[in-house]
């Protein structure tokens, strides 16, 4: 969310940014919110004037009564009453205008960084860099569910009966591998100086609207019936939300956090839910990284965060690349974002396994997160988030890249301590 003062002073910049995001239907909102803001400020100024006049006249009433000027005192009382009525009406108007301003400001997109390529949608995202050599083996790589089934490691039919499409049972070595990857991710981030958290998996609506746009919320979040609670789509929601209405001391920055959680998503949209597979599903688990920092440090942290994910995947012998998200593919709160994509030997292309985002001060403004600085004055921090790893999607990349011709799957050194010392998995079917 932008500062209304910035919008008021830079309407052309705000409009140009909207055009870069191909959201021209929002252009009239800029002039509209500026007009509402003008009316709101005028109402506040009028209230301040009336309050000052009322206080002055109220003091005079006692003096007039003491001087026996009853008629003049009654006239003054009438003026005070009229002022009180006008102030009450203005108070209602202020509340209405404040709500109108906030409603529009919540949907005007954040100003994207100058380095973001302009494009309409994810088809125009730009590859940045590749890490590791993509390999296409000289044997056929089966579909990921077929690989898992050879290890007797997945049951989609039973999950379909209990929960419907988009759910799964993992079992045996595949379930253990799933947990091993998350345990390794946890320790990987702790070793890099991040504090480990297990957050609440449900959050209130005030936090939801603070951390994401309405469009994202509608397409992602599950609402708990009869409660002011939503199931989280990622632990970033809880982790940024923990700072709501907080005044941080500057000495406490940066906050570097890593969190585990299950994630729940509707996955509404063109992609839909897979009937047979675990790439796009309603429920998964994830290790996330979150940073709250000084504004001048946020781009340095952005680069550190995506590099953490690259290093994690490369430590497991999985080739990856980074893909810069274009303007039209950025969610409204984001200043800059890139996807980390893993190599799929079966498809012979890369697919998304994580996303790194710099949201500037948008989340801090919505949630009321401030930083105390006696010399320069209090300010809004910047917030960032990035996926460390999100199995079972990551399992697809892991199994395909570590599959051998005999059907076994090799286990890289970092995972072996979490897999009981096993060096490879042998198929059971």
Give this prediction's pTM: 0.89
User: What band does 248 get if pLDDT is binned at 50, 70 and 90?
Assistant: very high
pLDDT number for residue 70 = 77
pLDDT number for residue 64 = 73
Q: In whole angstroms, what is the distance from residue 88 CA to residue 43 CA?
A: 11
Tell me what the mean pLDDT of segment 182-188 comes to: 98
Q: What phi, psi does 109 have (nearest 5°)?
A: -70, 150
pLDDT number for residue 220 = 84
Q: What is the pLDDT of residues 306-363, one digit of tens each?
A: 999 999 999 999 999 999 999 999 999 999 999 999 999 999 999 999 999 999 999 9
Do residues 342 and 397 touch, judged by C-beta distance below 8 A? yes
State both tokens at 330: 């950025």
Q: What is the pLDDT of residues 55-93, one digit of tens each?
A: 888 778 777 777 777 787 778 788 888 888 999 999 999
Per-residue pLDDT at 179 exceeds 70: yes
Q: What is the pLDDT of residues 249-262, one digit of tens each?
A: 999 999 999 999 99
Q: Is the dihedral of CA 171, 174, 178, 183 positive or negative?
A: positive
Do residues 151 and 173 touch, judged by C-beta distance below 8 A? yes
Q: In whole angstroms, what is the distance from residue 19 CA to residue 23 CA?
A: 6
User: What band does 223 get if pLDDT is binned at 50, 70 and 90?
Assistant: very high
User: What band does 271 get if pLDDT is binned at 50, 70 and 90?
Assistant: low
pLDDT number for residue 32 = 97
Note whether 4-105 and 122-425 share their fold.
Answer: no
Pairing label, strands 126-131, 320-324: antiparallel
Which CATH class for the 122-425 domain?
alpha beta
The whole-angstrom distance between residue 412's C-alpha and the CA centroid of its chain comes to 32
pLDDT number for residue 74 = 76
Q: What phi, psi does 260 have (nearest 5°)?
A: -100, 145
Tell me what the mean pLDDT of segment 379-385 comes to: 97
Nearest to 249 by CA among 410, 405, 379: 379
Fold for domain 4-105? Answer: Helix Hairpins (1.10.287)
Q: DSSP H helical segments within 151-202, as ranges? A: 156-162, 172-191
Q: In whole angstroms, what is the distance from residue 358 CA to residue 113 CA?
A: 10
Q: What is the pLDDT of residues 283-294, one digit of tens each?
A: 999 999 999 999
Where exactly are the structural domains of the chain? 4-105, 122-425
pLDDT number for residue 112 = 97
pLDDT number for residue 315 = 96
pLDDT number for residue 272 = 59
Residues facing residue 284 across a β-bridge: 263
Tell me what the mean pLDDT of segment 141-166 comes to: 94
CA distances to 19, 148, 329, 335, 360 from 119, in Å: 11, 38, 8, 15, 21
Residue with tokens 């006696």: 374
Q: What is the pLDDT of residues 369-378, one digit of tens each?
A: 999 998 889 9
Nearest to 369 by CA among 200, 251, 258, 210: 210
CA distances to 54, 173, 198, 201, 351 from 111, in Å: 43, 46, 32, 30, 28
Average model confidence (pLDDT) across the chain: 93
Per-residue pLDDT at 270 exceeds 60: no
């Amino acid at each position: 969310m932008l500062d209304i003062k910035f919008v008021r002073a830079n309407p052309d910049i705000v409009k140009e940014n909207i055009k870069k995001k191909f959201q021209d239907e929002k252009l009239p909102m800029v002039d509209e919110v500026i007009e509402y803001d003008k009316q709101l400020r005028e109402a506040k100024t009028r209230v301040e004037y009336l309050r000052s006049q009322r206080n002055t006249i109220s003091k005079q009433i006692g003096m007039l009564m003491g001087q026996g000027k009853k008629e003049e005192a009654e006239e003054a009382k009438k003026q005070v009453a009229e002022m009180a009525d006008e102030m009450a009406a203005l108070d209602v108007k202020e509340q209405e205008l404040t709500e109108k301003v906030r409603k529009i400001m919540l949907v005007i997109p954040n100003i994207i960084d100058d380095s973001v390529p302009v494009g309409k949608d994810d088809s125009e995202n730009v590859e940045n860099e590749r890490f590791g050599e993509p390999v296409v083996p000289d044997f056929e790589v089966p579909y990921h569910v077929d690989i898992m089934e050879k290890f007797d490691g997945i049951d989609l039919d039973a999950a379909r009966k209990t929960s419907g499409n988009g759910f799964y049972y993992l079992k045996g070595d595949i379930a253990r591998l799933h947990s091993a990857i998350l345990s390794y991710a946890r320790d990987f981030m702790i070793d890099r100086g991040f504090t480990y958290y297990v957050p609440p998996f449900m959050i209130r609506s005030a936090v939801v609207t603070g951390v994401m746009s309405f469009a994202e919320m509608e397409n992602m979040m599950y609402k708990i019936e009869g409660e002011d609670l939503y199931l989280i789509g990622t632990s970033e929601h809880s982790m940024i939300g923990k700072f709501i209405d907080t005044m941080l001391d500057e000495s406490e920055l940066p906050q570097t956090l890593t969190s585990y959680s299950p994630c729940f998503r509707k996955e509404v949209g063109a992609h839909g839910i897979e009937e047979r597979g675990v790439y796009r599903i309603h429920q998964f688990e994830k290790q996330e990284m979150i940073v709250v920092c000084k504004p001048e440090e946020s781009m340095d942290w952005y680069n550190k965060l995506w590099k953490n994910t690259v290093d994690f995947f490369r430590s497991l012998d999985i080739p990856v690349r980074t893909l810069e998200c274009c303007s039209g593919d950025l969610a409204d709160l984001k200043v800059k974002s890139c996807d980390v994509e893993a190599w799929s030997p079966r498809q012979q292309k890369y697919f998304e396994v994580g996303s790194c985002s710099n949201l500037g001060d948008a989340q801090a403004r919505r949630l009321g997160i401030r930083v105390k600085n006696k010399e320069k004055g209090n300010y809004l921090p910047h917030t960032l988030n990035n996926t460390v790893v999100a199995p079972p999607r990551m399992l697809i990349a892991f199994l395909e890249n570590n599959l051998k011709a005999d059907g076994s799957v090799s286990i890289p050194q970092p995972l072996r301590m979490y897999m009981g010392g096993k060096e490879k998995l042998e198929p059971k079917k």
